[in-house]
Amino acid sequence: MEKAEIHFKNRAQKYNRSSNWVADQELIRLMFQLSEAGADSQVLDIATGTGLIAKEFFGKVRKVTGLDISPDMAKHATGCMDEIVFAPVEQMPFADNSFDAIVCRQGLQFAELDKAIPEIYRVLKPGGRVVLCHLTAYNETDRELAFAIQKLRNPARRNYLMPADMATALEAAGFRDVEDVEYLSDESVNQWVDNGAIPQENMDKIRELYRTADEAFKEIHDIRFVNDDIMDEMLLVIATGRK
């Protein structure tokens, strides 16, 4: 398995342009709202990357801390947060009950969930909110092909997620009031595969999988072939909970 640090070092330069959802202000604002963070809140943004989620909180809360493992990604996050800490989510260097809200978008698919979720619970204050947003398959019908495509695009990925997986993990760790919010993002496959971290061979294989997909997959994902591009309506699920 490719290491996530290497994967994101290679992706850093193109990351902010690698998917429509990356800079989607509607999605970013939704995560902010779901966090229930206020002016006195201390917020942790896990897998902060180039800082686009942290930036929504910066200046609106008491303090926003970014956590990441990639200094190369963080070079693009200047001015987006109060501080950045380099450490794995499975072993966060924070005291128990440190944060009023913890958010993460598209980071925990690279983590050991059985260690990461309990760590999130540990450093969140009692009554605090967690907001975890991740790409998933829709259901069993598209699961196999969606995961095959995701593996080709992200060789460092550990977890391939179904819609209920994050909520189930939160409940198992002791979170309460767990809920899911679904969010659809219309993505250009040409844009999505050209992420700077995978070879042309992988990009070509992904496009071929879309072209040869069965009709059920194409219907679920609303696949459209537009000129030399392919459009895919991808599903992101935002799992929320309270400690």
Q: What does the radius of gyration of the chain's CA atoms come to, in whole angstroms? A: 17
pLDDT in tens, the chain (243 residues): 458 777 777 776 767 677 888 899 999 999 999 999 999 999 999 999 999 999 999 999 999 999 999 998 889 889 999 999 999 999 999 999 999 999 999 999 999 999 999 999 999 999 999 999 999 999 999 999 999 999 999 888 999 999 999 999 999 999 999 999 999 999 999 998 888 888 999 999 999 999 999 999 999 999 999 999 999 999 999 999 999
The pLDDT value given to residue 2: 52
pLDDT value at residue 67: 97
Place of tokens 């992420």: 195
Measure the CA dihedral 69/78/241/121, to 10°.
40
How open is the CA angle 12-165-47, to the nearest 5 degrees?
25
Structure tokens at 33: 């709202």
Percent of the chain with pLDDT over 70: 98
pTM greater than 0.85: yes
Taken in order of first residue, the domains within the chain and their CATH numbers are 4-242 (3.40.50.150)
Q: Are 50 and 16 in contact (CB under 8 A)?
A: yes
pLDDT digits (tens, 9 = 90+) for 207-217: 999 999 999 99
Exposure letters 23-54 (e unless 16+ CB within 10 A, then b): eeeebbebbbebbebeeebbbbbbbbbbbbbb
> CB pairs under 8 A, 24+ apart, for 149-153?
149/206, 149/209, 149/210, 152/198, 152/202, 152/205, 152/206, 152/209, 153/192, 153/193, 153/195, 153/198, 153/202, 153/206
> What pLDDT, in 10s, does the model give residues 16-47?
677 888 899 999 999 999 999 999 999 999 99
